[in-house]
Amino acid sequence: MITGIKGIRFRRTVAVTATAGAMLATGALSAAPAQAATAPTIVAKGGYIMDNANSKTLYTKAADTKRATGSTTKIMTAKVVLAQPNLNLDAKVTVQKAYSDYIVSKNASSARLIVGDKVTVRQLLYGLMLPSGCDAAYALADKFGTGTTRAARVKSFIGKMNAKAKQLGMTNTKFDSFDGISNGSNYSTPRDLTKLASSSMKSSTFRAIVKTKSTKQKVTTKNGGYRYYTWTNTNTLLSNYSGAIGVKTGSGSIAKYCLVFAATRNGKTVIGTVLTSTSATQRETDAKKLLNYGFAKLG
């Protein structure tokens, strides 16, 4: 009888030990997903994120498939301007009627520049990146292209955009416009646009502009007076995601809804792109999912 009791006691001990072991094993298994974040599902047809510190890929979805980019093209417009030798950001540019006519003819997004106003290059960059002004893009292309006619200068500027893309190793990118309103062959990829954004963010001027939620700019009128332009950033991620620092929205009939984005948390920066999402709200949701995933992977 004592032997039997001992046997029972022994079996109970084994059972308890086995149970404890199972609990430990279960605990180990349940801890694993916290370390290995599950890759998110996004609606956008293309997506990419990387660790900005070392360009390490953190997520891809059709990252090298060429797609229309909409106004995310304007990142390159700004990049080319900021790369100009001996750039004077305070140089003034007179707003031409051609810029406003262009906006009307294309039904394009606008900084609402007024003909005859004298606007600085720095102000044009704000007008380019915050309200996504195609008139500001035109003004910058006209200013920084070379040639005796406006058409020649614009063509020259777009040439500089493509040269810069090649220099940056954007092998699946081509620009045929200064603002993303394509003439049939304006395209890039999530990986290429992320590469462009990462390079652009090395400029303190660019960083300051793209993280600005809104700005009020004083400009000189053609009569020597002044007026104020107020611009609000189309990138609502700046208000809706903790740590967001940029970069640029895009949209269009073919491009649908695009977003190049970046955020910094705990000293780490994740930067990425979503192309061809279904709405302005959805592109932001897609971007948030990818940022959360990126930070989880970086730990």
Active site residues: 71, 74, 132
**Does the annotation flag 248 for ligand binding?**
yes
Pairing between β-strand 244-252 and β-strand 92-94 as defined by DSSP bridges:
unpaired
What string of H, E and C letters represents the secondary structure of the chain? Answer: CHHHHHHHHHHHHHHHHHHHHHHHHHHHHHHHHHHCCCCCCCCCCEEEEEECCCCEEEEEECCCCCECCHHHHHHHHHHHHHCCCCCCCCCEEECCHHHHHHHHHHCCCCCCCCCCCEEEHHHHHHHHHCCCCHHHHHHHHHHHCCCCCHHHHHHHHHHHHHHHHHHCCCCCCECCCCCCCCCCCCEECHHHHHHHHHHHCCCHHHHHHHCCCEEEEEEECCCCCEEEEEEECCCCHHHHCCCEEEEEEEEECCCEEEEEEEEEECCEEEEEEEEEECCHHHHHHHHHHHHHHHHHHHC
Binding-site residues, in ranges, read 248
- Please give the annotated binding residues for substrate, written as ranges: 248
